Chain A
Amino acid sequence: MRDEQTTYWLPRAALDRLIRMLAQDGYEVVGPTIDQSAIVYGSIESVADLPVGWTDRQAPGEYRLEERGDDRMFGFVVGPHSWKKYLFPADELVASAGRAGDSWQFTTPDFVPRKYAFLGVRACELAAIGVQDRVFLGGPYVDPLYRARRDAVLLIAVNCTQAAATCFCTSMNTGPRCERGFDLALTELDEGFTVECGSDRGKDILGRLTADGVPTVADMDQLQAAESARAQAVTQITRRMDTDGLRELLLGNLESPRWDSIAERCLSCTNCTMVCPTCFCSTVTEVEELTQVDRRRHWDSCFNIDFSRVNGNPSRNSIAGRYRQWLTHKLATWHDQFGTSGCVGCGRCITWCPPGIDLTEEVAELRTISRLRNSADHVSESEDSLEGIQ
């Protein structure tokens, strides 16, 4: 929780010292870095690995990098990677079976998780981590693999000082301000960073960066500059999703013609589910090794035709059905399952969709169509009699 009392100050040069200190503490520092013309998450050994002086230009189906003309280290928003690649890896061992005479020896991995320090977590991403926490930790079954990784991770958040054209975190109440769930939260200014501590661990780290162990307090000018910088992120957000009654809207329009219209554009390519920071669908398959059989879990997608089957046949046999499943799960039934929306407004699915399908637009269209039509999905009470059967 953000310490309301004190905001601290970190000079620019100290960031590199922070990265090296964390490495010495045994953390693998990962953060934004440029690879194949995109800002992705990878190993950060020094600030030189960060996308210094770069920004991203995003639009439905479009992503490109541009030089900023300054030295900002975090002057962009989010790219195709999300932190789920570390907390919920795309491929991992969940169990093994080894032959033991005429029987089997079943084991689960006794692994020590890699200690990550996430550098540069955005508010929407903090929210997304919170959403996946509920999926893997919040129910009657707890995933011990996710638990171990989650307990070990250090979260250094960064407040956005700009927004992409695809961002809509304000509509989802997830940003752009980092409110909770971090160890440290930085706001970048030209000379350095204002820093808020969200945990004792964060405060301790900050203290260790100063000569006398006491973190420097930010002055009024720095506080105001940071406030202005964060306000810029808010004003730059232009995309909106109307979430009023959204769950009921979607569940009440499962037979809207809009789904077919989306299906004419959707390729069922699974990009959106891969880049989405909250999507969690997976499949466990067998991998035969020399002396044992491993069970490995890997990312899957509800857009794959074979993902859901009844009696061996695909149960969502149309792209319209699969897109509907994804969107109604993300924005409607996620509430039933986890008590929150599944969407954090990061806009990745809009940017990385080849035909540029924009869910905020689709929701608006569904709403418009719904208002114009009588919903055929409401079952009347009198339906429960055989007279209705043809």
Chain B
Amino acid sequence: MSLDAPNLLRMLHSTRFAEGLPHIELTSLARAARVVEVGSGTVLFREGQVEDAVFVVFSGHVRLSMKVPGRGEVTLLTAGPGDLVGWSGLISDGVMTATATVMDSARLIALSGRALQQLCESDPKLGYVLMKRMAQVISRRLLSTRLQLLDLFADAAELEAKAKQGAVR
């Protein structure tokens, strides 16, 4: 879907990802962006494959999963409006560490990882602003992951296991 520049900029500006970013840097980012509309079930990228695009979810939801032998595709996380998925294209070598599947029809802002890298190289200020924001995003994702890892609702599961053994009631 093609959008004129001001509309794309406005869309990007409205996302939580872009909250507080300086206007000049945001405009530069918008130049490397385009909008994609995808239907439910579409695979944005696959674990293990190289993917250039980094996606900011504008509307809709995206499921991230990893393949575990013997368990199949295991869903890790749901990303929603304002979330970033596929940052490997910008941060590392572009090899995706999860598979992203659209859950309900989604509108995404796709940014080219390579283009962003080149922008950052030539514009250190933009590079700093973008990397700082990426660090915050990843930090928030890490906290969420840790909270999942802590298994804070474990008591309920333990009770269920005990119930199955007939120890309860």
Contacts and interface: CB of A to CB of B under 8 A. Distances in A.
Nearest to A390: B139
A67 B81 CA distance: 84
A39 B26 CA distance: 81
A311 B156 CA distance: 12
Interface string B119-147: 00000000000000000100110010000
Contacts of A311: 155
B136 to A, nearest CB: 6
A237 B26 CA distance: 73
A386 B155 contact: no
Nearest to A312: B155
Contacts of B143: 389
A178 B139 CA distance: 62
A387 interface: yes
Nearest to B136: A387
A387 B140 CA distance: 9
Contact-residue bracket for chain B? under 10
Interface in A27-68: none
A386 B139 CA distance: 9
A80 to B, nearest CB: 43
A389 B139 contact: yes
Interface string A329-351: 00000000000000000000000
A160 to B, nearest CB: 55
A390 B136 CA distance: 9
Nearest to B140: A386
A312 to B, nearest CB: 9
A311 B140 CA distance: 27
Interface in A373-389: 386-387, 389
A322 B29 CA distance: 55
Nearest to A389: B143
A311 B136 CA distance: 33
Interface string B50-88: 000000000000000000000000000000000000000
Nearest to A386: B140
B62 to A, nearest CB: 21
A390 B145 CA distance: 12
Nearest to A311: B155
B126 to A, nearest CB: 19
A390 B141 CA distance: 11
A230 to B, nearest CB: 61
A386 B143 CA distance: 10
A263 B155 CA distance: 32
B147 to A, nearest CB: 11
A95 B105 CA distance: 63
Contacts of A389: 139-140, 143
A387 B139 CA distance: 8
Contacts of B155: 311
Contacts of A387: 136, 139
Contacts of B139: 386-387, 389-390
A386 B140 CA distance: 7
Contacts of A390: 139
A389 B146 CA distance: 12
A387 to B, nearest CB: 6
Interface string B137-169: 001100100000000000100000000000000
A257 to B, nearest CB: 28
B11 to A, nearest CB: 23
A386 B138 CA distance: 11
Interface string A301-321: 000000000010000000000
B141 to A, nearest CB: 11
10 contacts: A311-B155, A386-B136, A386-B139, A386-B140, A387-B136, A387-B139, A389-B139, A389-B140, A389-B143, A390-B139
Interface of B: 136, 139-140, 143, 155
Going nearest first, the 5 A-B pairs with the smallest beta carbon separation are A389-B143, A389-B139, A386-B140, A387-B136, A386-B136
Interface of A: 311, 386-387, 389-390
Given A311-B155, A390-B139, 8 more contacts: A386-B136, A386-B139, A386-B140, A387-B136, A387-B139, A389-B139, A389-B140, A389-B143
